[in-house]
Structure 1
Amino acid sequence: MTREGNSITSNHINTGKYTTWMNETGKKNNETILFLHGSGPGVTSIANWSYALADCADTFHCLAPDLYGFAKSDHPAEPLKNRQAWMDCWIEQVMEILDYYGLEKVQLVGNSLGCSIALELLLEYPERFDRIVLMGPGGTPNTKLSLELARAKSFYDSPSKKRLQQIMGWFVYDKELMQPVIDGLTDDRFENAMREEVSRSNNSIFSTAAVPIPTVALSRIKNPILLVHGRDDKVCSIESSYYLMEYLDDAQLHVFSQCGHWTQIEKKGQFNHLIQEFFNGHL
């Protein structure tokens, strides 16, 4: 598929244990950004990161995989026992991807669930990552379980395109302004959400809660980190970024007003400029 400016190539790669659907741009560039998507009914990496993949490809090699248990990547035949079992698989999948491409060290961007995976990667393999962007992180002890998030998690109780549009409307600050984007995502996301393996994996992932990283472990992360949050995020409240700022050793926080959980879409121009400035060492 293509977007203005740079072509996005998408295909399956087999890294050993995992077959991953990978979206890629900027192959000619030496420095790599790995983008990790969030969760939600029918979510795909390309829906999360299409604008960033196109915009960053002028100077960066960009990789955006569908995580194990999501979209077009592999799904377990039997549900995994808990969230930590899923996390172990996601970490293993990411490390296989880096080795497949021969990447010793990369820049890393996580969105929502992808932030939790990014932090776990920094605990296990800090030497494989340079600078880190965490956009709309949750999963901290003070993250509020909002009504919006609770209803999003119950999508499969009565799935429909109308309900999916309602959920996506809660992810943004100005639903009227973002309605064309929501309309453009609805058919593909609903079709993806209704695949048997996708719904099975989704139910398994959210059958148990994540266990937050201990503060003593957070304080040992030394990588430079940029936290990015929408002030009006109703899915993962901004308090989670304040919490991480308190314990991470080398972190800064950028807050966008009039912005919900989809910073990379609602503020795509500013977001893409911001992360590239950070990765280039200008922030």
Structure 2
Amino acid sequence: MSSARGTDAVQPEIITHTVRTSLGPVSVSEAGEGPVLVMLHGGGPGADGLANYRHNLAALAPHHRVVLPDQPGFGGSYRPTEDDLDARSITEITVDAVLQTLDALGIERFHLLGNSLGGAAAIAMALAAPDRVGKLVLMAPGGGWLPFGPTPTEGQKAMFRYYNGEGPTVRKMRDFVRVMTAEPKRWEDTVQARYEASLDPSHIEFYHRYNAAFGKRHGMDPLWRDVHRIKAPTLLLWGRDDRTITLDGAQLMLKQIRDVQLHVFGGCGHWVQLERQAEFERLVTDFLQER
């Protein structure tokens, strides 16, 4: 059940296929060969594995078998129900689904990278399966961060607004990109594509359930309480001007994770992998290849 998503002059071949888990189908895109790098996307409207990381594959796939799951609720993967979200948090659901997916693909050990919502899942996976995670890269991760300023943050408010009121609009997506990035004019060409990707009716229904569950649980799982148990060497990547998962919250992880380093990008918001693409790719590649 696999098909080529396409190639071009700089893009490696991308294969997208569906993996059956006990929770539901999970869509996975893959590119490259070598040590496995699992990359978990953020939770914004229209997000999925390829939307987050397609532009980085040309640099990463020559060194790694890059595995991009669409997390439950997003992209081509199944949509958790209200009962699912009452029983477990979205992070717990994602960890279960992704580990089952990797088991089905015969992947035992892997490097792990996560951004925002996917960063929360990456922390939780590193805690749940410490012997399977080689190295860990966290980009402004939810859950492991303890904010010192007001919450919800400006970025979180923009996400909550997007599907409420009159529903998705191009104007709202433009506002969302403005909050996510430090230089929004650079990303104007992404607005329409992200807007169109956000219109899937099943995703909209899921997002309302997800936001309601988020409110019931008073936010993300408090993973910050357990980050001292992370065994994997960890690279923290953060935009200094992130208005969604703010830099001040990095201090707890920097203090509590045993083998950790932090790189801060000035003039950068929440989308490090796009806003500082070349530096992101170099830092990740060097970190994963270090002995």
Give, as a single letter, the amino acid of the residue that structure 2 aligns with 1:171.
Answer: M
Aligned match of 1:229? 238
Which shifted more, 7-16 or 108-117? 7-16
Aligned match of 1:150? 157
Which of 200, 210, 223 is 1:202 aligned to?
210
CA contact (8 A) 2:224 2:252 kept: no
Q: Following TM superposition, by how much is the alpha carbon of 1:214 offset from its aligned partner in structure 2, in angstroms? A: 5.2
Aligned match of 2:221? 211
Give structure 2 stretches of 5+ with no counterpart: none
CA contact (8 A) 2:243 2:269 kept: yes
Q: Is 1:141 aligned to 2:146, yes or no?
A: yes
Aligned residues: 278
Which of 268, 272, 275 is 1:259 aligned to?
268
Instruction: Determine the C-alpha separation between the residues in 2 that align with 1:92 and 1:195.
Output: 20
Counterpart of 2:56 in 1: which secondary structure?
helix
Q: Aligned ranges for residues 82-97 of structure 1 at < 5 Å? A: 82=86, 84-97=88-101
Counterpart of 1:202 in 2: which secondary structure?
helix
Aligned match of 2:126? 122
Aligned match of 2:76? 72
CA contact (8 A) 1:227 1:252 kept: yes
Counterpart of 1:43 in 2: which secondary structure?
coil
What value does the CA root-mean-square deviation take over the aligned residues?
2.1
Q: Go from structure 1 to structure 2 and tell me whether the alpha carbon gap of 1:149 and 1:94 turns closer, same or farther (over 3 Å shift).
A: same
CA contact (8 A) 2:112 2:133 kept: yes
CA contact (8 A) 1:6 1:54 kept: yes
Give structure 1 stretches of 5+ with no counterpart: none
CA contact (8 A) 1:41 1:193 kept: no
Q: Following TM superposition, by how much is the alpha carbon of 1:201 offset from its aligned partner in structure 2, in angstroms? A: 4.2
**C-alpha offsets along residues 9-52 of structure 1, whole Å, 9 cap, x if unaligned?**
222221343311111101xx231000011112222221111122
Question: Percent of counterpart pairs with the same letter?
Answer: 26
Give the structure-2-normalised TM-score: 0.88
Q: Is 1:187 aligned to 2:196, yes or no?
A: yes
Considering Cα pairs closer than 8 Å and 6+ residues apart, tell me whether 1 or 2 has the greater RCO. 1
Runs of 4 or more above 6 Å deviation: none
**C-alpha offsets along residues 117-140 of structure 1, whole Å, 9 cap, x if unaligned?**
111112111001100000112332
Q: Go from structure 1 to structure 2 and tell me whether the alpha carbon gap of 1:82 and 1:54 turns closer, same or farther (over 3 Å shift).
A: farther
Q: Go from structure 1 to structure 2 and tell me whether the alpha carbon gap of 1:31 and 1:95 turns closer, same or farther (over 3 Å shift).
A: same
Counterpart of 2:39 in 1: which secondary structure?
strand
Q: Following TM superposition, by how much is the alpha carbon of 1:161 offset from its aligned partner in structure 2, in angstroms? A: 2.1
Aligned match of 1:63? 67
Which shifted more, 53-62 or 193-202? 193-202
Q: Following TM superposition, by how much is the alpha carbon of 1:168 offset from its aligned partner in structure 2, in angstroms? A: 1.6
Give, as a single letter, the amino acid of the residue that structure 2 aligns with 1:172.
Answer: T
